């Protein structure tokens, strides 16, 4: 493994000759900001609170009375932001991204652990979007006839691509370096997987299933 600070457990041992190139998790703060939009929700409730105070004062209420009357709105906003932040933290905790010398693995699922196995031979292209904090998103397009269910994979999927969902590594730290590692692994892998094997397919696998029955075709 050329780049990682910690080795995360894989759903099953890799075949002989296949190596882990990189592993990581999405940053929960970046998820909260860019995926669950906690900051936008906080701003929304803040604007509502200011409007409520301004309207109440304009109607003749005392400023203190108007402020107290908006307290429930602020509490509701704090609760909403708290829930979104908790969802971001849980998503980060239960997600692991792995780049090997032959495939991309996305282990995810808060309630039901699953694994998306994407052999390099079905990856048509990869892209990169970075944020000011150094985190970023890396979507990959899937070639061939395989389809992945958008809702099953969310939030590890490129937004607004429901017709042909594109799996995405979301909010990863050092996204530029990770994208370079993925590009290097893709370039070095061809033709790593022999034709006619189950590795030629995209699979969504449940972490609760035994190894012998864990592979199931991706949802259409």
User: Residue 15 falls within a domain, yes or no?
Assistant: no
Residues 70 and 164 placed together within one structural domain of the fold:
no
Residues 144 and 47 placed together within one structural domain of the fold:
no
User: Residue 2 falls within a domain, yes or no?
Assistant: no
Domain span at 45:
32-91
Question: CA angle, corner 99, sides to 218 and 124, nearest 5?
Answer: 55
Residues 81 and 119 placed together within one structural domain of the fold:
no
Residues 54 and 104 placed together within one structural domain of the fold:
no
Per-residue confidence (pLDDT) for residue 63, from 0 to 100: 64
Contact in structure between 185 and 120 (CB atoms under 8 Å):
yes
pTM over 0.85? The answer is no
Residues 145 and 79 placed together within one structural domain of the fold:
no
> What span, in angstroms and rounded, lies between the C-alpha atoms of 66 and 30?
35
Which CATH number fits the domain that encloses residue 110?
2.30.29
The pLDDT tens digits of the residues spanning 133-156 come to 889 999 999 887 777 888 889 999
The pLDDT tens digits of the residues spanning 162-197 come to 888 899 999 999 999 999 999 999 888 765 444 333
Residue pointed to by tokens 């530029």: 176
Average pLDDT over residues 114-124: 91
Residues 87 and 196 placed together within one structural domain of the fold:
no
The pLDDT tens digits of the residues spanning 80-94 come to 999 999 999 999 999
Residues 101 and 198 placed together within one structural domain of the fold:
yes
Counted domains in the chain: 2
Residues 174 and 151 placed together within one structural domain of the fold:
yes
Residues 77 and 146 placed together within one structural domain of the fold:
no
User: Residue 3 falls within a domain, yes or no?
Assistant: no
Confidence of residue 60 (pLDDT cuts 50, 70, 90): low
Question: Does position 74 have pLDDT exceeding 70, yes or no?
Answer: yes
User: Residue 7 falls within a domain, yes or no?
Assistant: no
Final residue of a domain: which of 41, 64, 91? Answer: 91
């Amino acid at each position: 493994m050329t780049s990682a600070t910690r080795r995360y457990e894989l759903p099953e041992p890799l075949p002989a000759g296949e190596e882990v190139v990189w592993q990581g998790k999405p940053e929960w703060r970046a998820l909260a900001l860019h995926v669950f939009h906690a900051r936008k929700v906080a701003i929304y409730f803040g604007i509502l609170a200011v409007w409520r105070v301004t309207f109440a004062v304009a109607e003749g209420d005392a400023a203190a009375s108007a402020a107290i009357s908006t307290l429930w709105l602020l509490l509701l906003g704090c609760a909403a932001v708290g829930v979104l932040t908790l969802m971001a933290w849980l998503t980060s905790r239960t997600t692991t991204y792995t780049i090997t010398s032959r495939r991309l693995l996305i282990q995810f699922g808060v309630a039901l652990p699953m694994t998306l196995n994407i052999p390099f031979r079905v990856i048509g292209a990869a892209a990169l979007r970075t944020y000011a904090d150094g985190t970023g998103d890396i979507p990959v397009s899937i070639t061939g006839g395989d389809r992945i269910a958008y809702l099953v994979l969310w939030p590890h999927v490129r937004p607004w691509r429901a017709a042909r969902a594109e799996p995405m590594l979301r909010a990863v730290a050092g996204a530029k370096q990770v994208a370079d590692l993925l590009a290097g692994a893709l370039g070095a892998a061809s033709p790593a997987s022999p034709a006619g094997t189950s590795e030629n397919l995209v699979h969504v696998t449940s972490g609760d299933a035994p190894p012998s029955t864990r592979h199931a075709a991706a949802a259409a």
